[in-house]
Amino acid sequence: MKYITIVVPDCELNLNSIAGAYEILSRANDYWQKLGNRSMLEIQIAGFVSESKVNGYFTVHPTDISTIHKTDLLIIPSIFGDYGKTVDKNEALIEWIGRQYKQGAEIASMCSGAFLLAATGLLEGKTCSTHWNAVEQFKQMYPNVKIAEDKIITHENGIYTNGGGYSFLNLMLYLVEKLFDRSTAVFCSKIFQIDIERTTQSQFSIFHIQKGHGDELINKAQTYIEKHVESKISFEKLASELAISRRNFDRRFIKATGNTPVEYLQRVKVEAAKKELERGRKSIYEIMGDVGYIDDKAFREVFKKITGLSPLDYRNKYNKVLKVG
């Protein structure tokens, strides 16, 4: 028997990640028993709060987590709101999570639940995944944790993390396979209609311009890059015009944005190309030229590196008219 605890933090919650985790694990356990096996799981939803309201419509009534002295797997749901304040409000839960891990429990965090997991210190020097839209804030709060920005799931030393949104469903299938077997995971993927082979969130990522870093010189460089997306930019010349050495320019740029100047330029170009591909009004060759590429191979390689899809595949996927019936 494995004891599973889905924790309920004191904050604004994503009810779907709690209910979805419970439903998939319960269904997997029911299927396992119908095959003639004994029940594998005992699942509890628990927290230090006696009641948690979600969006003003739903209420979660967790078990008192202080009565749970040992668990085999604990699951941290995704959270909303101010991550820093949420960490401060949940010191007792964070300490409890860390203690359970030291006693042998495995931990799985969903999406932004990684902020609570990282607050335990268990991710120091390790790699994790979270929602692509929360990556920059996560890096600021936990600079010693490596982010796998494109990964749906990471697994290291009994700690599982996953990317954003409904990709927690893929994490649950991954855990079902670990807890039961592959055939049970496949059954759940069919029942809940989840793509079991999905491994990346790159294609869903939107590159957000980071300008809240306070470095005015780098802000000027970013603005220049964004206004000259179709041009071949010399960073040596740009640094000189900003009266800074290329070495210091690169150092400050990375510190401010999390990207090298070249990476930043590539991401700006690819984001512009994605928008044109979604509109579907221009050919891929025209779009390539609009964002400053003359080498088709180089454009395709950079585009796929950042999005996980070729320009053609991206257009085919996101420029289709939805048809019902």
State which of 170, 201, 232 marks the end of a domain.
201
Whether residues 191 and 300 fall in one domain: no
Domain ends where: 201, 224, 245? Answer: 201
β strands within 8-140, DSSP E: 41-47, 52-54, 58-60, 63-64, 73-76, 106-109, 127-128
DSSP string, 196-243: TT--B-GGG--------S--HHHHHHHHHHHHTTTS---HHHHHHHTT
Q: Are residues 197 and 222 in the same domain?
A: no
Beta carbons of 263 and 302 less than 8 angstroms apart: no
Q: Is residue 54 part of a domain?
A: yes
Query: Domain with 25 in it: what CATH number?
Result: 3.40.50.880
Q: State the residue range of the domain holding 291.
A: 216-318
The answer to whether residue 103 is domain-embedded is yes
Residue bearing tokens 């044109």: 276
325 found inside a domain: no
In a domain, 174, yes or no: yes
Please indicate, yes or no, whether residues 240 and 172 belong to a single structural domain of this protein.
no
Residues 237 and 303 in one domain: yes
In a domain, 209, yes or no: no
Q: Is there a single domain that holds both residue 51 and residue 9?
A: yes
- For 183, other C-beta atoms within 10 Å of its C-beta total 12
Report which of 123, 101, 48, 108 is spatially closest to residue 77, judged by C-alpha positions: 108
| Full DSSP string of 257-299 | HSS-HHHHHHHHHHHHHHHHHHHT-S-HHHHHHHTT---HHHH
Q: State residue 322's pLDDT score.
A: 42
Same structural domain for residues 234 and 160? Answer: no
Count the Cβ atoms, other than its own, within 10 Å of residue 15.
17
Q: Tell me, yes or no, whether 211 lies in a domain.
A: no
Where does residue 254 rank: exposed (0-12), middle (13-18), buried (19+ CB within 10 A)?
A: middle
Domain-ending residue, one of 150, 171, 201 = 201
Furthest CA-CA distance within the chain: 74
The two tokens of residue 112 are: 């932004």
CA distance 182 to 178: 8
Whichever domain contains 274, its CATH number is: 1.10.10.60
Is residue 32 within 8 A of residue 184, CB to CB? The reply is yes
Classified as helix, coil or strand, 2 is strand
Do 197 and 234 belong to one domain? no
188 and 230 part of one domain? no
Q: Do 226 and 197 lie in a common domain?
A: no
SS3 309: coil
In this structure, are 249 and 183 located in the same domain? no
Residue 299 placed within a domain: yes
Both tokens of residue 6? Answer: 């889905």
Q: Are residues 185 and 278 in the same domain?
A: no
Q: What is the residue-level pLDDT of the chain in tens, covering all 325 positions?
A: 999 999 999 988 888 899 999 999 999 999 999 999 999 999 999 999 888 777 667 888 899 999 998 899 999 999 888 999 999 999 999 999 999 999 999 999 999 999 999 999 999 998 888 888 888 889 989 999 988 876 778 888 889 998 877 888 889 988 998 899 888 988 998 899 887 665 555 444 445 566 667 788 998 999 899 888 888 899 999 999 999 999 999 999 988 887 899 998 998 899 888 888 888 788 999 999 999 998 999 999 999 888 888 999 888 877 754 444 4
Dist. CA 23–CA 233, nearest whole Å: 52
167 and 312 part of one domain: no
Q: Which residues pair with 6 in a beta bridge?
A: 45, 75
Residue 208 lies in a domain: no
In the chain, how many domains are there? 2
